[in-house]
Amino acid sequence: MTELLALPARETAPTLLSAWTEALQGQGLDVSVTRESPGVSWIEVGRPPMRGYVVMDGLHVEAINFELAGGDTSRARSLLQAAASAIAWELHEDEDGNEDEDSDPDA
């Protein structure tokens, strides 16, 4: 599984969850949203398989951690990038976290 972190670009106005769903639907995706709690929702797409853990601040989205399933995630990445760009957000590779940052790779 591949993870991508979506964050608002600098100077981006507060973003509603509906802006994300509309941006994804604008890419031809079938999108569903499930509210888990007042501060957390899930965005799910069946094809290509992906889902996003949405962190909310009131009505506004603060960040989304997207999980892309399958081996070849290039189509999902492309669709997410287009949706993010449409609403002035950025996608970042989720850091693996398994490597010790202080370790010497030549050791």
Closest Cα partner for 60 from 13, 25, 24, 106? Answer: 13
Longest dimension (CA), the chain: 49
Give per-residue pLDDT as tens, 2-40. 999 999 999 999 999 999 999 999 999 999 999 999 999
Q: At the top level of CATH, which class does the domain 2-93 belong to?
A: alpha beta
Q: What is the pLDDT of residue 71?
A: 85
Query: Measured between alpha carbons, how far is 97 from 100 in angstroms, rounded to an integer?
Result: 8
Is residue 80 a contact partner of residue 25, using CB atoms and an 8 Å limit?
Answer: no
Average confidence (pLDDT) over 51-76: 94
Q: How many CB atoms lie within 10 A of CB 50?
A: 25
